[in-house]
């Protein structure tokens, strides 16, 4: 069995909400609308930038955007975000060490996120962890975004692994639903952006401290190997 682990990004490995909020509020300012506080923007994160903007406009009493307006808004938001993608963003404590430990233990690592692929690569590079990942699937890599299982399945294929034997590490209801739809064992980072309790048939463990993650992944791997031999 190929040893692989796939991660969500925002709220899982990185606390990026401050930079997302900064870009969104710059866009709102350009449109003559009131800014949001950080907790409100954080509540919008998880379904990708198009959905984030829909929620932002709705929260300011704006009518539904026409297709061409939505495209323009999205392009402007992504341009603003790309100017400062990691100025306020931080890796969660212990995340870098956990990733390095998993690589040293022979695991191939991937990213499956609803953040656009180019912005994902940019963030990973600026945070100095891009070299740890062998596959990256973003929110615009495929026509479908999470919670569709297709992005996670594609990332697993890029790693030469099967979703059913690949741990997916995430922080939100979207990630839990994605793992369940793909049949992948799910590990929940409890310090991220989830809105409430996570209920999923594939949830295997929860952690707040990244120091625990290598052991949790190793335990899942041993259990999978035992089932495979049986």
Q: Which residues contact 19 (CB under 8 A, 6 or more apart)?
A: 81, 84, 85, 86, 87, 88, 89
Residue 23 burial by CB count (10 A; 0-12/13-18/19+): exposed, middle or buried? buried
CA distance 156 to 184: 10
Cα separations in angstroms, 84 against 23, 62, 119, 121: 8, 26, 11, 14
Q: Which residues contact 60 (CB under 8 A, 6 or more apart)?
A: 28, 33, 34
Is 15 in the active site? no
The residue among 63, 66, 9, 59 whose CA lies nearest residue 34 is 59
From the list 8, 15, 73, 108, the catalytic residue is: 8
Peptide bond before residue 226 is cis, with ω within 30 degrees of 0? no
The residue behind tokens 């969660």 is: 92
Catalytic residues: 8
């Amino acid at each position: 069995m190929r040893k692989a682990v796939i991660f969500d990004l925002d709220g899982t490995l990185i606390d990026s909400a401050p930079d997302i909020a900064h870009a969104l509020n710059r866009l709102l300012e350009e449109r003559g609308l009131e800014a949001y506080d950080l907790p409100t923007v954080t509540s919008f994160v998880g379904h990708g930038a198009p959905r984030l903007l829909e929620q932002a406009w709705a929260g300011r009493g704006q009518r539904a955007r026409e297709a061409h307006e939505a495209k323009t808004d999205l392009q402007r938001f992504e341009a603003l975000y790309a100017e400062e993608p990691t100025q306020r963003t931080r890796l969660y404590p212990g995340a870098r060490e956990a990733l390095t430990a998993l690589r040293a233990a022979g695991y191939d690592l991937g990213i499956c996120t609803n953040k656009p692929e180019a912005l994902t690569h940019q963030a990973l590079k600026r945070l100095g962890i891009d070299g740890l990942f062998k596959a990256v699937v973003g929110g615009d890599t495929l026509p479908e975004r999470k919670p569709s299982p297709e992005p996670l399945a594609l990332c697993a294929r890029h790693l030469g692994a099967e979703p059913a034997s690949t741990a997916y590490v995430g922080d939100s209801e979207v990630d839990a639903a994605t793992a369940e739809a793909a049949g992948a064992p799910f590990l929940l980072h409890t310090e991220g952006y989830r809105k409430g309790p996570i209920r999923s048939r594939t949830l295997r463990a929860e952690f707040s401290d990244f120091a625990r993650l290598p052991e949790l992944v190793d335990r899942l791997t041993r259990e999978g190997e035992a089932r495979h031999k049986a």
